[in-house]
Every structure is written in C-alpha cells, then in structure tokens.
C-alpha cells in the first residue's frame, strides 16, 4: 500500500500528520525482466506507471488501433537525413530552429544556417497539417505546425507526422499530450524508457479507436486553440510594430552596423559604473539609448515606481518535489515560452509554503526574464499560470498597474529591450544578471499616450487569447480522459 503524508495544523497551532490515501502503484514483473535488469528487485528499477499506462490503453472501451502501419492512422512519419550544419550570421543565412523551440508559442530563431550547407532546405521546411515529435534529447515533446512556424526550417531532430484523415491530427496530438498517452509514447510495453525515438517506434504505439464524432470534437478544439495562439502572435507583432514606428526605430542591424569598425572602443571614466568588462560597454547599447532619448517623451528605468511595483529574484533553495495532487506547478526558464509545458514538476506546499508565497508564485501580467544561463528570455504571465511557481533562474517584474503591464512586456521582449537587458550580463562560466540590473534597464515612455495605451491593450488582449487557447486544449484533454481513455 502506498500512502502519502501531508502536514496539517490543528486548532492549537500544532502540526499534525494527515494521511492521504493514494492509488496503489503496482505491476507484475516476469523473471526474465528481473534478470535483464541485473537481478534487481527494487520497484524503482521498473516504471510501474508506464506499464499501467500500456494496460489502461489496451483495456479502453473502444479498442485500439496502431498509429503506424498498413491499417494505422498515420500517412507518413519521417525526419530529414542527417547533415553537417554550417552556421552563419543572420544576414547571410536561413533562420534555423531547434527541437527545444518546437513547443514555443511564438519561437524566434537563435541560429542561422548557411546556404553552403549540403542539404535540401525544402525538405527541412515544415508543412501544414503536420504533427511534430522530438526524437532525441528530451523525447515526448509534441506540437502542431502553427502559422508561426509554417514554412520555417527545423532541425532533422524533429519527426514530421501526417495523417490519412485530418481529424486524427488533433485527436492524436491530444492523446500523446495526455499523461497516459505521453507515457505510452516514451516507453515500451515493459516500462523501459525509450531514449531515442524513431518513426518505426510509432508502429508499437496503440491509440484508442474512438468514434468519429469524438475525434472530430477533440480535433476541432485543438485547431481552435492553435488559431487563438496565432491570433495572439499577430497582436504582439502589431504592438511591436506600433512601438517601432512611434520611436522611429530602425532595424536592430543598423545599430549594430553603426558601432566601431573593430571590437575596440573608448569609455569615459565617468561612465564606467563600477564595470570594467567590455560586454557592459558595448556601443550598440549607447546607440539605442541615445535614439530613445531623441524620440521618446522620457526614458526612465524598469525600477521606476510608475513602471513596476516590485522586482523579485528568488533565493536558491533545495527543492522538494511531490505528486501533482500535493504541490504547485513548477517550471523553469526553458518552459516560459510554452503555453502548457509538458514536463511540469510539482513543488511541495508543505516544505516551501512561505517561499512560494513570498518569492516563487506567478501572477497574471507579470513579466518574466531569465537571469541565469540564457539571459534575457522574456515572457508574459497569462491567467492560466496564476499561482504556478517558477525557479530561481527567472526574475519576476511586477507591473505598477494594468495600464503599463503590456507595454512594459512588449518593449522588454523587443530586439532593442533584449540588448538593454543582456548588457548587464556577468559571470565567467555561467552568465547571470540580478534584480538590481533589471531595475536599471532603460524603458522609454512615448510622446503619444494614445499609442502607448494601444500597445498595452494589444499585449493584454494577446494574453487573454492565450488563456482561451489554454482552456480549449485542457477541454480537449478532459474529453480524451473522460470519454475515451477512462470511459466505462
């Protein structure tokens, strides 16, 4: 019997132990499996949940159908051939996306691939009505080809899947994103984790063969969810365009081209600010700042009380993870660009209650900035992340009010805001910035208050659309659980 202990406080203020029963985790193991695992008898050696997931799927009321095969639902599943990549700068190459960006709501290129690379670029471009699966590294991440990534060049580490029937696209996406479905995808029937996913593995993945009516309902919800994500991206792009036009900002490349012809430059002693690292004094930052002073009504800082009411950098701590029912959702910097991260963890409320309330909680309209490792990745907290928690590698900027929250996020997420953030980077091995640095990041206030308000409104509307998109996907997942997987 597996039990879970949770702490409760009685009327006298003393901690009492409350025992909450949890479902028993068990499975049968053959002698040959024990021998193949080094004659180990510990339960941790065998993925009990994975074995149970396979059994649940086989026992569903609608029966099963294979994903890939002669009678399967998949039309094709492949990944482009491997090739040696030649990277270059963004002015001479094609934007190149990595598997880690596949599930981002609105991914931005971090690398560019040279035209000298010996590969068929057209084969790497994503096609519509395609399901994407990561095949190496972190497997089990899935996404659909949205308007944001349609036609873009993605790594060969992404499997492209198309279906014989359109409705199987959203239906299969939902199944593979469900807890049971994802377990089935990433493990074999014996509970062993698949460390590298190949298209042929899909021949061993059974999926409930639900009636067409249910498949259509789930598929339509997912398509509507992705449409809302695309609409939110369009609003963000419109807001950013308004910002650029109002401040007469040229392409970021012009600021880069107008700096010193070689990577040496002079800095006045009065401008040292206690920093003697060259990265702090890069000329592009001065060029952007001077331009903002010229065209903005005022250039202030993120720490200005008119802009933010608080900037939080949580302290480091030893994490205690628990089951979903006993903790708060806990995410990291790599996940803040996703709508609903698939690899969420859960932080113990018993062990971290005060820290969660004081430092870790996320609230709607906060702006998040990664501050360790990858610096300056910016995200806007939607209503669906309310009371989630995030790790100490993410700085939380609490907007002064709703009238500035969206505008603040749009500027910091722009190419220009990014440069103003990363100039504070320090560290010889792992890059870092802290809350003090973020408080000093410059932010312009526009001469035309109506334009500034419109930018803010567009950002808030985009956030609402993402919340609606999240709800539709959760509705599809609920139908998958209640009407398909666990249906009686």
How many residues are recorded in the chain? 488
The C-alpha angle 295, 300, 304, rounded to 5 degrees, equals 155
Does the pLDDT of residue 7 top 50, yes or no? no
Full domain range(s) for residue 172: 57-230+468-485
Cα 384 from Cα 382, distance rounded (Å): 5
Residue 452 included in any domain: no
Strand pairing of 345-348 and 327-331? Answer: antiparallel
Q: Are residues 198 and 284 in the same domain?
A: no
Cα 371 from Cα 127, distance rounded (Å): 35
Cα 394 from Cα 379, distance rounded (Å): 10
Report how far Cα 284 is from the mean position of its chain's Cα atoms.
Answer: 29
Both structure tokens of 468? 């609606």
Average pLDDT estimate for 87-93: 86
Does the pLDDT of residue 154 top 70, yes or no? yes
The C-alpha angle 399, 405, 410, rounded to 5 degrees, equals 125
The structure's pTM equals 0.86
Q: Are residues 381 and 477 in the same domain?
A: no
Does the pLDDT of residue 17 top 60, yes or no? no
Average pLDDT estimate for 61-79: 92
Q: Are residues 222 and 335 in the same domain?
A: no
Strand pairing of 389-390 and 327-331? Answer: parallel
Q: Looking at 249-405, which runs of residues are DSSP E strands?
A: 298-301, 308-312, 327-331, 345-348, 367-372, 374-380, 389-390, 394-399
Q: Are residues 106 and 24 in the same domain?
A: no
Q: Which residues of 136-160 are buried (b: 16+ CB within 10 A; e: fewer)?
A: beebbbbbbbbebbeebbbbbbbbb
| Predicted pLDDT at 430 | 83
Q: Are residues 154 and 295 in the same domain?
A: no
Please, is 14 exposed, middle or buried when counting C-beta atoms within 10 Å of its C-beta (0-12, 13-18, 19+)?
Answer: exposed
Does the pLDDT of residue 459 top 60, yes or no? yes
Q: Are residues 80 and 112 in the same domain?
A: yes
CATH number at residue 199: 3.90.220.20
Domain count of the fold of the chain: 3
Lowest mean per-residue pLDDT among 33-42, 170-179, 374-383, 468-477: 33-42
Report how far Cα 238 is from the mean position of its chain's Cα atoms.
Answer: 22
Residue 242 included in any domain: no
Q: Are residues 346 and 429 in the same domain?
A: yes
**Helix H segments across 154-282?**
167-177, 179-186, 212-246, 252-257
Confidence of residue 1 (pLDDT cuts 50, 70, 90): very low
Residue 238 included in any domain: no
Q: Are residues 65 and 172 in the same domain?
A: yes
Both structure tokens of 69? 């095969």
Q: Are residues 407 and 279 in the same domain?
A: yes
Helix-then-strand count for the chain, H and E: 13, 21
Average pLDDT estimate for 66-91: 89
Q: Are residues 40 and 95 in the same domain?
A: no
Residue 236 included in any domain: no
Confidence of residue 48 (pLDDT cuts 50, 70, 90): confident
Both structure tokens of 83? 């090739």
- Higher pLDDT, residue 263 or 242: 242
What tens digit of pLDDT does each residue of 230-262 get?
999 999 999 999 999 999 999 988 887 655 555
Residue 462 included in any domain: no
Average pLDDT estimate for 467-473: 97
- Residue 308 pairs with which residues in a beta bridge? 399
Residue 51 included in any domain: no
What tens digit of pLDDT does each residue of 135-146 get?
887 888 899 999
Q: Are residues 40 and 62 in the same domain?
A: no
Both structure tokens of 70? 């002669």
Does the pLDDT of residue 67 top 80, yes or no? yes
Instruction: Report the range out of 51-60, 83-92, 282-291, 450-459 with the highest average pLDDT.
Output: 450-459
Does the pLDDT of residue 326 top 80, yes or no? yes
Mean pLDDT of the chain: 87
Average pLDDT estimate for 178-199: 78
| Predicted pLDDT at 419 | 94
Confidence of residue 190 (pLDDT cuts 50, 70, 90): low
Residue 413 included in any domain: yes
Does the pLDDT of residue 227 top 50, yes or no? yes
The C-alpha angle 463, 417, 398, rounded to 5 degrees, equals 50
The region that residue 267 occupies, defined by phi over 0 for left and psi between -120 and 50 for alpha, beta otherwise, is beta
Q: Are residues 224 and 264 in the same domain?
A: no
Cα 367 from Cα 311, distance rounded (Å): 10
Please, is 227 exposed, middle or buried when counting C-beta atoms within 10 Å of its C-beta (0-12, 13-18, 19+)?
Answer: middle
Confidence of residue 197 (pLDDT cuts 50, 70, 90): confident
- Higher pLDDT, residue 170 or 138: 170
Task: Please name which of 262, 164, 172, 163 lies closest in space to residue 210, comparing C-alpha atoms.
Answer: 172
Confidence of residue 19 (pLDDT cuts 50, 70, 90): very low
Residue 243 included in any domain: no
């Amino acid at each position: 019997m597996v039990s879970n202990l949770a702490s409760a406080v009685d009327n006298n203020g003393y901690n009492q132990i409350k025992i909450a029963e949890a479902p028993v985790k068990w499975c049968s193991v053959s002698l040959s499996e024990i021998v193949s695992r080094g004659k180990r008898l510990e339960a941790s050696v065998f993925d009990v949940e994975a074995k149970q997931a396979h059994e649940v799927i086989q026992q569903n009321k609608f029966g099963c159908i294979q994903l890939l095969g002669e009678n399967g639902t998949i039309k094709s599943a492949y990944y482009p051939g491997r090739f040696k990549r030649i990277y270059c700068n963004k002015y001479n190459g094609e934007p190149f996306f990595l598997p880690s960006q596949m599930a981002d709501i609105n991914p931005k290129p971090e690398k560019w691939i040279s035209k000298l690379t010996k590969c068929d670029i057209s084969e790497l471009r994503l096609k519509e009505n395609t399901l994407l699966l990561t095949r190496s590294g972190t497997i089990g991440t899935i996404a659909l080809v949205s308007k944001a990534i349609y036609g873009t060049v993605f790594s060969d580490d992404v499997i492209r899947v198309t279906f014989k029937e359109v409705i199987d696209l959203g239906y299969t996406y939902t199944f593979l994103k469900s807890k049971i479905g994802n377990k089935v995808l990433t493990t074999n029937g014996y509970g062993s984790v698949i460390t590298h996913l190949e298209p042929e593995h899909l021949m061993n993945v059974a999926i409930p063969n639900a009636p067409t009516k249910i498949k259509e309902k789930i598929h339509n919800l997912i398509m509507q969810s992705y449409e809302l994500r695309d609409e939110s991206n369009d609003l963000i792009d419109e807001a950013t365009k308004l910002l650029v036009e109002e401040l007469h900002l040229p392409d970021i490349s012009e600021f880069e081209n107008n700096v010193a012809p070689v990577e040496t430059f002079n800095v006045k002693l009065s401008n040292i600010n206690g920093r003697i690292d060259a990265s702090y004094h890069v000329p592009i930052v001065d060029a952007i700042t001077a331009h903002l002073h010229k065209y903005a009504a005022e250039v202030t800082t993120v720490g200005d009380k008119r802009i933010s009411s608080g900037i939080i950098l949580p302290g480091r701590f030893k994490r205690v993870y628990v089951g979903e029912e006993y903790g708060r959702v806990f995410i990291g910097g790599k996940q803040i660009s996703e709508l609903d991260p698939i690899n969420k963890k859960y932080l113990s409320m018993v062990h971290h209650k005060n820290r969660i309330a004081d430092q870790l909680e996320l609230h709607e309209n906060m702006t998040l900035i990664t501050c360790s490792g990858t610096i300056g990745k910016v995200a806007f907290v939607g209503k669906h992340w309310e009371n989630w928690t995030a790790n100490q590698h993410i700085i939380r900027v609490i907007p002064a009010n709703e009238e500035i929250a969206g505008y603040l996020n749009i500027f910091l997420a722009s190419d220009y805001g990014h440069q103003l953030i990363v100039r504070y980077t320090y560290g010889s091995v792992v890059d870092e910035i802290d809350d003090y640095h973020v408080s000093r990041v410059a932010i312009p206030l526009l001469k035309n208050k109506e334009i500034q308000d419109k930018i803010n409104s567009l950002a808030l509307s985009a956030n609402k659309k993402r919340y609606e998109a999240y709800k539709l996907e959760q509705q599809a997942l609920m139908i998958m659980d209640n009407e398909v997987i666990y249906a009686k």
